[in-house]
Amino acid sequence: MSGWLQDPAIWHLHRRSVSGACFIGLFCMFLPIPFQMLIAAALAIVSRRNLPISVALVWISNPVTIPPMFYFAYKLGAWLLDMQIETNSIELSWTWLSANLSQIGIPLVFGSLVCGWVCGISAFVLVRVSWRLHVIQRLRDRRDARLKDKQAADAADVRTPRFDAPADESEKP
């Protein structure tokens, strides 16, 4: 395991690594299971994507954000599977969850996978496009700076007379 953590690819920041890490982190964020960070870390190491970003993005799902996220995922899954929502009241307890898991399990898992996939793909594309636009802008800025330097050098050459060359043909020896 320590050999995998020494792989420089999981620590570097480049377009491929960051976009893949964003996909992994946001996909794992929606998984309705405990230890999402471990799954994100394992996927980042195996796929050689940025490990810190993958794990950090999972933290978006925390005790404050998990209930609305999973409720939305459940409603989306039930709607996509064309299932009736069976629960009348929701309690935040293990007894309620274990008693109702057979009714809410499939829509919750399906909705979570869809939400994770959509968030992950959106982040992947957004990072790739924004990174590319940033690189293009930097190349344009560099080109413009080179042109400006060249124009300034050309203007300086025109203004300074050249004393090493004869002024006209008659002065040639």
DSSP letters along 129-153, please?
Answer: HHHHHHHHHHHHHHHHHHHHHHHHH
82 in the Ramachandran plot: left (φ > 0), alpha (ψ -120 to 50) or beta?
Answer: left
Contact 123, 26 (CB under 8 A): yes
What the block records as the tokens of 114 is 């869809």
Specify the pLDDT at position 49: 92
Q: Tell me what percent of the chain is helix, strand and coil, each rounded to the nearest 5.
A: 75, 0, 25
- Residue pLDDT, tens place only, 108-147: 899 999 999 999 999 999 999 999 999 999 999 999 999 9
Gap between the Cα atoms of 166 and 173, Å rounded: 10
151's CB contacts (< 8 A; 6+ apart) are: none
Specify the pLDDT at position 139: 94
- Residue pLDDT, tens place only, 61-85: 988 988 889 889 988 998 998 887 7
Sequence ranges of the domains in the chain: 2-84+97-156
Pure H helices in 30-93: 36-47, 51-58, 66-80
* Radius of gyration for the chain, computed over Cα atoms and rounded to the nearest angstrom: 29
Specify the pLDDT at position 142: 93
Q: How confident is the model at residue 58 (pLDDT cuts 50, 70, 90)?
A: very high
Specify the pLDDT at position 124: 96
Specify the pLDDT at position 167: 58
Specify the pLDDT at position 128: 95
DSSP, collapsed to helix, strand or coil, labels residue 19 as: helix
At 69, which amino acid appears? M
What the block records as the tokens of 142 is 């560099």
